[in-house]
């Protein structure tokens, strides 16, 4: 490990040594991650670190930084270390009880806005497997007259989503309950969203360690072929969508043909599929016939 130019105990020294450790652990963007973690530990902006690399790091901040760095070297996700993740320009608290919101999932909100251009006409939104609440709350930010219901089978996830709604000023327009997509739901909805578990069970141990070791298996495991949740959801949708309503489901890579077949077998109409920024078909749009 090469020597760092700045004196020990300074911002530059901590950033240099952390970057070296992160690089050795095959962490992508080690310099950026070192800045993110140190800025969080010092409760400052990354720009402040760069402005004065010879500034001393207070002992308490150094201890916080050291703890976060050790956890990151064990491949704990950065979002867990920071305690939050941005989604649809909103900040969401995260925990080990839920998936971390991902940019790919923003494709569902883009698809929903495209499929329902009269935003004032959307009155009820349902989110199946709500996790942090990111899909439901992002949708409510786009459909200003709507209220929403988020369901999750994990109590800690539903509680986190409720807290996120309150923090974002959407608590009075949303409700959360502990249930899964097999539970009876009252009424019909203009928009139904879901990012269900869609990873094939046998492949989960081979996922990147940030996911396989630190995110909940229940939110990843889609059964032997990855399609169990789609079968359950598709069976429910005809009884939950309003006439003219839309459902938008997140897909895993290569799953579009199989999920479309499942949906049409249940009497649903496929309206199209929106690709994410990587070109992967990600947001399948469905309606009743």
Per-residue model confidence as pLDDT tens digits over 97-136: 999 999 999 999 999 999 999 999 999 999 999 999 999 9
pLDDT for res 184: 76
Tell me the C-alpha to C-alpha distance, in Å, between residue 172 and each of 109, 120, 140, 163, 234. 21, 17, 11, 12, 29
Cβ contact 74:22 at 8 Å: no
Whole-structure pTM value: 0.92
Query: Chain-centre distance of CA 100, in angstroms?
Result: 4
For residue 237, is pLDDT > 70? Answer: yes
For residue 85, is pLDDT > 80? Answer: yes
pLDDT for res 7: 80
Q: Secondary structure of the chain: what % helix, strand, coil (to 5)?
A: 45, 20, 35
């Amino acid at each position: 490990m090469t020597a760092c130019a700045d004196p020990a105990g300074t911002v530059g020294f901590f950033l240099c040594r952390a970057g070296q450790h992160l690089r050795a652990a095959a962490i992508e963007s080690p310099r950026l991650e070192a800045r993110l973690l140190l800025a969080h530990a010092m409760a400052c902006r990354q720009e402040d670190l760069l402005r004065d690399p010879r500034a001393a790091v207070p002992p308490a901040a150094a201890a916080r930084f050291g703890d976060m760095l050790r956890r990151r070297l064990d491949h704990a996700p950065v979002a867990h270390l920071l305690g939050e993740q941005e989604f649809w320009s909103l900040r969401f608290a995260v925990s080990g009880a839920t998936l971390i919101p991902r940019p790919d999932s923003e494709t569902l909100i883009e698809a929903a806005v495209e499929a329902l251009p009269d935003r004032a006409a959307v009155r009820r939104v349902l989110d199946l497997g709500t996790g942090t609440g990111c899909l439901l709350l992002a949708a409510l930010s786009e459909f200003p007259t709507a209220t929403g219901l988020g369901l999750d089978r994990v109590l800690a996830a539903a509680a986190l989503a409720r807290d996120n709604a309150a923090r974002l000023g959407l608590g009075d327009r949303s409700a959360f309950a502990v249930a899964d997509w097999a539970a009876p739901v009252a009424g019909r909805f203009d928009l139904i969203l879901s990012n269900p578990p869609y990873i094939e069970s046998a492949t989960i141990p081979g996922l990147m360690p940030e996911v396989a070791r630190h995110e909940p298996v229940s939110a990843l495991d889609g059964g032997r072929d990855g399609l169990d949740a789609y079968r359950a959801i598709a069976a429910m949708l005809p009884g939950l969508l309003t006439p003219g309503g839309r459902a938008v489901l997140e897909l895993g890579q290569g799953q579009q043909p199989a999920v479309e077949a499942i949906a049409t077998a249940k009497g649903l109409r496929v309206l199209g599929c929106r690709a994410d920024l990587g070109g992967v078909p990600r947001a399948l749009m469905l309606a009743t016939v």
